[in-house]
Amino acid sequence: MKLAFSTLGVPGLPLSDVVRLAGEHGYHGVELRAHPEEPVHTGLGAEERAAAAAEFKTAGVEILGLAGYVRVAAPGDDEPVLAELRELLGLARDLGAPYVRVFPGGGEDQDAEEADATAARRLGTAAQDANDAGVRILLETHDSHRTGADAMRVLGLVGHRQVGALWDVMHTWLGGEQPASSYAALFPYLGYVQVKDIASADDTTPLPLGAGVLPLTECVDLLSREGWDGWLCWEYEKRWYEGAAPLPELLAAGREHLARLLNEAA
């Protein structure tokens, strides 16, 4: 498996520093948070996109994907959601990123079947744009569709190879789903896996990998046993927790922890 980290852990850091951190600490790739407050966002011009792609390519660090904020199940008209998703797909194409992340984002008062149908309709419509861009859309296990079973209800309706799943191990665990059940639901659609660690269900402040309660060992063992050979991406949510330790000083130990889990699983 390949290892990456998300720039959510180093908010606002210039790309040159992101590339340097990845190279210094032995990460194969980086998931880029695509947001106006970050160096990478859909407002970048063609020259800026080309320069960013070249910087990663020169360093031998892959851009794993773009973590966008499109909410595909959200109530409302389809077109604004689809327009935002098309912009994200175009950015990923220009940067050479194989994946874009989207959230479910169903409303609290929204009927579950309605949310499923809305998400599936929008993802199905966007699938051709994704195919044309050579990019795969990944629905993250998150918010209104926290578990693998939740995500599968949507992805089963879409039924397109350019639309898959991003397994966030924290959210499936918070949803009460065991890793084996999450994997069984998601593996036909699985793009990559986000790993992280937290103190408890009531305290989701990010911790160094291995210092919390999430079943990382079980997840890595399961993926290895099943012969899955994709990406593990460490999403350290520093952006939302200012008191969390800085990610750069944790990257070396985090990579060592994941490498140890992979070696033990092998």
Which pLDDT score, from 0 to 100, does residue 230 have? 96
pTM of the model: 0.97
For the chain, which ranges sit under pLDDT 70?
none
- Cβ(48)–Cβ(73) below 8 Å: no
Is the CA virtual torsion 87, 136, 29, 195 positive or negative? Answer: positive
Which pLDDT score, from 0 to 100, does residue 108 have? 85
Residue 99, number of CB atoms within 10 A of its CB: 22
- Cβ(50)–Cβ(94) below 8 Å: yes
Cα end-to-end distance, the chain, whole Å: 11
Buried b / exposed e over 141-172, threshold 16 CB at 10 Å, is bbbbbbbbbbbbbbbeebebebbbbbbbbbbb
Which pLDDT score, from 0 to 100, does residue 266 have? 76
Question: Going from the N-terminus, what domains does the chain have, and what CATH number goes with each?
Answer: 2-265 (3.20.20.150)
Residue-wise pLDDT tens digits, 47-97: 999 999 999 999 999 999 999 999 999 999 999 999 999 999 999 999 999
In the chain, what is the greatest distance between 2 CA atoms, to the nearest angstrom? 49
Which pLDDT score, from 0 to 100, does residue 109 have? 87
